[in-house]
Amino acid sequence: MTYRGFFPAVLFGLSTILVIALSFSLVVSIVLSFTSLTEHSVQWVITGVAFVTMFLGGTISGAKAKEKGWIAGACTALLFSLLTFLIQYLGYDNSFTSEQYMYHAGYILAAAIGGIIGVNLSSNK
């Protein structure tokens, strides 16, 4: 595979994150609709899947970038956090809470670690 650049790799990782997040959101909403589970009862599952999703998005962006994986992963999570902030701020007129800032810092860390692993998985050595 040829090297296509840093920004497309980050966008590919972001696309992966969005597809996984939307798919999981659909599954959780269907489960919550047809069972007696509450949103509070699946909170830890949602949080775990969010971190795994960020890790996978970072891994994919690092693998596509083929260099500077931690930056590719962190940029992927930063774009996701920016998109989330813009939707929340412009759409719902709310800013991030301190808890959300901590979650998004964790997302950036998880994606950066994923980017490091992605670069190492994509190397042909």
Alpha helices in the chain (DSSP H): 6-34, 43-65, 69-86, 92, 98-122
Q: pLDDT (tens digit, 9 = 90+) per residue, 22-44?
A: 999 999 999 999 998 888 889 99
Q: What proportion of the chain, given as a percentage, has pLDDT over 90?
A: 74
- In order of 34, 86, 103, the CA distances from 13 in angstroms are 32, 19, 19
Determine the Cα–Cα distance for residues 87 and 18; give it in Å rounded to an integer.
Answer: 14
Q: What average pLDDT does the segment 32-60 reach?
A: 93
pTM (2 decimals)?
A: 0.89
> Please, which pLDDT band fits residue 125 given cuts at 50, 70 and 90?
low
Q: Residue 123's pLDDT is what?
A: 73
Of 74, 43, 44, residue with least CA distance to 61: 74
**Higher-confidence residue: 93 or 18?**
18
Determine the Cα–Cα distance for residues 57 and 76; give it in Å rounded to an integer.
Answer: 7
Of 60, 68, 58, residue with least CA distance to 108: 58
Q: Residue 71's pLDDT is what?
A: 94
User: Where do the structural domains in the chain lie, given as residue ranges?
Assistant: 6-122
Q: Say yes or no to pLDDT of 50 above 90.
A: yes
Q: Which two tokens stand for residue 50?
A: 């969010």
Return left, alpha or beta for 123; rule: phi > 0 is left, psi -120 to 50 is alpha, else beta. Answer: beta
